[in-house]
Structure 1
Amino acid sequence: MEKDQMPRSRRSVLRIAAACVGAATVAPLFSTEWTRTPNRPEAPVAAADPKAAGGPASAGGPQGAAGPQAAGPQASARVTNASAYRLQPMTAFGSNPLTRAVTPVRKEPFLNMPALGRSMVLTFDDGPDPRYTPDVLKILRKHDVRAMFFVCGGMAADHQDLLREIADDGHVVGNHTWSHPLVPKLSKSRIRDELGSTSEIVEKILGSPPLWYRAPYGAWNKRSFEIGAELGMEPLAWTIDTLDWREPGTGEIVSRVLDGAEPGAVVLSHDAGGDRSQSVAALRRYLPALLRSGYRITVPLR
């Protein structure tokens, strides 16, 4: 399936530089029920036991991770208290209500990071996967850069040491739901289960919950924005889609990244959900090219 695109028939307050929150707006994507993250938006204005952790029940069977025939993370037993998990405003400085920092309910996801200057953000969805994530981490480590990993709860539960390695390297771990469903097709309680269970397993493993989330297929709706905010997370989409789930060839993935490179750009890639050998090979080529071009590869401040 199109991993983070709609099918054809388809962190607290934002903690990057304050200017980003105050000044950055994104292209209008929100409609009454659906928000679709486009391929290339219009130019925007300036240690847990996985069995104990469980996960939400799947609404229509597990979703594939990266292509119509690719098997995605499996949903496990439903967590009865997932709906209530962390559904309270986050506080920045104790209990003083005057200093409470409540995550706002967005009407569209952030597409880019314009306040970061000549910087770009690399993101990887669907993992962690022991076949490809370790190689992605090695490449990022070699160039001493940080990235964002939007993980599926089922994969995080199954590969806890790998999730810890991601965090130990200084990368940002985001929430990509438990089983990669099509969110607008879910009830409100199911969306809470998918996002809440993933935040729960990440917090149990790493000691803190995700502060960012991304909707599978780039399919957002009003309920997902509301529940994400209740869980203290900000939504992040992308401006450069590598379309690596299609396995178009390493050179094509490299070209898409380099051709789309611009200050504040967010790159969508995958480290799981299918054969990601092209994604790894492309990263090995385009990352040093971006650095030679003067781009900083960074992540939002936590």
Structure 2
Amino acid sequence: MKKDQLITRRRALIAGAAVLGAAGAAGTARVLTAGQAAEPASGPPLSGPQANRALKPSAYRLQPLAGYGAPPHGTQLRTLVRHEPFIRVSGRGRSMVLTFDDGPDPHYTPEILRTLREYDVHAMFFVCGLMAADNKDLLGEMADDGHLVGNHTWSHPLLTKLSRSAIRSEIERTSEVIDEACGEPPSWFRAPYGEWNRATYQIGAELGMEPMSWTIDTNDWARPGTRAIVGTVQKEAAPGVVVLSHDAGGDRSQSVQALRTYLPRLLDAGYHMTVPRRKYA
């Protein structure tokens, strides 16, 4: 009974957020930019290093996000199929988005949540169904803290090597777990290794999700050292960037410590950690 009441409360909070939007100009990103994904980082790179390239402003706004919760009464929700993932946000001030992949992990994810809570900032967590199914309490904690929980497939496969039915199964099963734990299905999807194809975009849109990639690859999956991770984030920090880190998939102690180091420094430098706002046409 308590679980049902908690999910009902979460759904009410989500519905209220959808109507009111984010509180404050710095709290939520409003526009996202689509572009080519950065070099895969949720595991060993699939090809050689790729230099950062200039990112052009988006030619469109999200109108609306593909199926983000229940739209206001009488509003018809359109499904948009993208051809490339979003890699930046564009809001007021010096906005950035922190994202964490592959979790939740019962050892490392709580530490990351505590740090985010300490500094009162929100992030995006792209979870894998295999991990999420055994740690639904952590998904609920993410939702209660105001973080966005995204879909990162069930078992983290290379989707471009799978059949269409297998891709759908990987994504759909994870969405079901997120819906059960958080009170609503996810509205964001990230392909493992940053590898996308037409079927992935189409299925994601059919299931009510927008594709999200990243701008800054911390390479924390390779455990380069806390100092190296911190240096990458601070060096490449800029308005609108999306930072890729991991809270599972191996020893993530460096990722945890790096967040505790660079987050207060970014805030002191005037950056705002944001998450994409819900938008309806």
Q: State if a TM-score over 0.5 links the two structures.
A: yes
Q: How many angstroms does 1:163 deviate by?
A: 1.2
After TM superposition, list the pairs within 5 Å mapping 1:80-99 onto structure 2: 92-94=71-73, 99=75
Letter paired with 1:26? G
Contact 2:87 2:214 in 1 (8 A): yes
Match of 1:197 in 2: 173
Q: How many angstroms does 1:43 deviate by?
A: 1.6
Match of 2:152 in 1: 176
Letter paired with 2:122? R
> Cα RMSD over matched residues?
2.6
Candidates 200, 205, 225, aligned match of 1:224: 200
C-alpha separation in 2, matches of 1:28 and 1:291: 26
The answer as to 2:257 corresponding to 1:257 is no
Contact 2:178 2:184 in 1 (8 A): yes
After TM superposition, list the pairs within 5 Å mapping 1:1-302 onto structure 2: 20=31, 24-27=33-36, 41-46=52-57, 92-94=71-73, 99-302=75-278
Relative to 1, partners in 2 of residues 1:19 and 1:148: Cα closer, same or farther, differing over 3 Å? Answer: closer
Relative to 1, partners in 2 of residues 1:152 and 1:134: Cα closer, same or farther, differing over 3 Å? Answer: same
Letter paired with 1:42? R
C-alpha separation in 2, matches of 1:19 and 1:280: 28
Taking structure 2 as the reference length, what is the TM-score of the superposition?
0.78
Moved over 6 A (4+): 15-19, 87-91
Q: How many angstroms does 1:298 deviate by?
A: 1.1
Contact 2:36 2:85 in 1 (8 A): no
- The 3-state SS of whatever aligns with 2:178 is helix
Q: How many angstroms does 1:100 deviate by?
A: 1.8
Per-residue deviation, residues 46-90 of structure 1 (Å, max 9, x unmatched): 2xxxxxxxxxxxxxxxxxxxxxxxxxxxxxxxxxxxxxxxx9998
C-alpha separation in 2, matches of 1:89 and 1:121: 18
Relative to 1, partners in 2 of residues 1:222 and 1:264: Cα closer, same or farther, differing over 3 Å? Answer: same
Relative to 1, partners in 2 of residues 1:134 and 1:257: Cα closer, same or farther, differing over 3 Å? Answer: same
Q: How many angstroms does 1:117 deviate by?
A: 3.5
Match of 1:82 in 2: none
C-alpha separation in 2, matches of 1:263 and 1:140: 19
Q: How many angstroms does 1:273 deviate by?
A: 0.3
Letter paired with 1:245? W
Q: How many angstroms does 1:92 deviate by?
A: 2.5
- The 3-state SS of whatever aligns with 1:113 is strand
Q: How many angstroms does 1:91 deviate by?
A: 6.3
Number of positions where the alignment pairs a residue of Structure 1 with one of Structure 2: 237
Using the aligned pairs only, state the percent identity. 58
Taking structure 1 as the reference length, what is the TM-score of the superposition?
0.73
Per-residue deviation, residues 165-188 of structure 1 (Å, max 9, x unmatched): 111111000000000000000101
Relative to 1, partners in 2 of residues 1:112 and 1:39: Cα closer, same or farther, differing over 3 Å? Answer: farther
Relative to 1, partners in 2 of residues 1:144 and 1:39: Cα closer, same or farther, differing over 3 Å? Answer: farther
C-alpha separation in 2, matches of 1:88 and 1:28: 22
Q: How many angstroms does 1:151 deviate by?
A: 0.4
C-alpha separation in 2, matches of 1:228 and 1:92: 18
Q: How many angstroms does 1:109 deviate by?
A: 0.2
Relative to 1, partners in 2 of residues 1:140 and 1:183: Cα closer, same or farther, differing over 3 Å? Answer: same
- The 3-state SS of whatever aligns with 1:112 is strand
Letter paired with 1:269? S
Give the strand-richer structure, 1 or 2.
Answer: 2
